[in-house]
Chains A and B, each alone.
Chain A
Amino acid sequence: KNEVEQSPQNLTAQEGEFITINCSYSVGISALHWLQQHPGGGIVSLFMLSSGKKKHGRLIATINIQEKHSSLHITASHPRDSAVYICASLWGGSNYKLTFGKGTLLTVNP
């Protein structure tokens, strides 16, 4: 059974701070998603990565396959970054499935 753990569960930061959210998973996976969920619920996919590092604007995601660990970084955080960030591991063969972490609630204060 694939389990996904995120830390921290809650994170409060001041605008401009560098943010790191961590994710670890228990079994080998095909890829890892980072998702953003705003109040109201809609989910946006931020990254899907299977190795190395991806960058999009102020967001950076990294993954270490050997250590079964991924991080999401936000540089120069802004109040609009306040949301729940969820990592999800993609696993399976011919039919892939996602296992989700419980999410990290990020609050960025002005």
Chain B
Amino acid sequence: GAVVSQHPSRVICKSGTSVKIECRSLDFQATTMFWYRQFPKKSLMLMATSNEGSKATYEQGVEKDKFLINHASLTLSTLTVTSAHPEDSSFYICSAAGPGGYEQYFGPGTRLTVT
């Protein structure tokens, strides 16, 4: 399968600061990227879908001004958590896919801790 990387794998930041997480597809062109969030012992929940060159589509209840998503190229999408709060602490996972998102390849995830 295709290889998707995320950076950083872990990040600790102070409340009120912003954190950027990168998701890269290393060996294929990802026209669609997904961002998921996972709370401890819970299912992954889709936060947003981004198509290269377009604005992201956010799921209900996800604040688009807080979770800024950029998908400027076919190999890179970024998620910026703005003005982070402790309740934003979570495991964030991206996946990359071709058009429409039929087959998704998952990144290794980023564990964010906001103190």
Residues of A within 8 A of B (CB): 30-31, 33, 35, 41-45, 48, 86, 88, 90, 92, 94-98, 100-103
Contacts and interface: CB of A to CB of B under 8 A. Distances in A.
Contact of B111 (A33, A41, A103): A41
Contacts of A97: 46, 49, 101
Given A41-B91, A43-B106, A95-B49, A102 B100 contact: no
Interface string B47-65: 0010000000000000000
B8 to A, nearest CB: 13
Interface residues of B, number: 24
Given A30-B102, A92-B100, A95-B49, 5 more contacts: A45-B104, A45-B106, A96-B97, A97-B101, A100-B43
Contact of A96 (B38, B43, B100, B111): B100
Interface in B93-115: 93, 97, 100-109, 111
Is the contact region of chain B dominated by helix, strand, or loop, or is it mixed? strand
7 contacts: A33-B104, A41-B93, A43-B107, A43-B108, A45-B105, A98-B34, A100-B43
Contacts of B101: 92, 95-97
A92 B45 CA distance: 16
Contact of A44 (B44, B91, B106, B111): B106
Which of A31, A35, A45, A101 counts the most chain B CB atoms within 10 A?
A45
Contacts of A96: 97, 100-102
Given A41-B111, A103-B43, A95 B100 contact: yes
Interface string B72-104: 000000000000000000010100010011111
Given A48-B103, A96-B101, A41 B109 contact: yes
A92 B104 CA distance: 14
Contacts of B42: 102
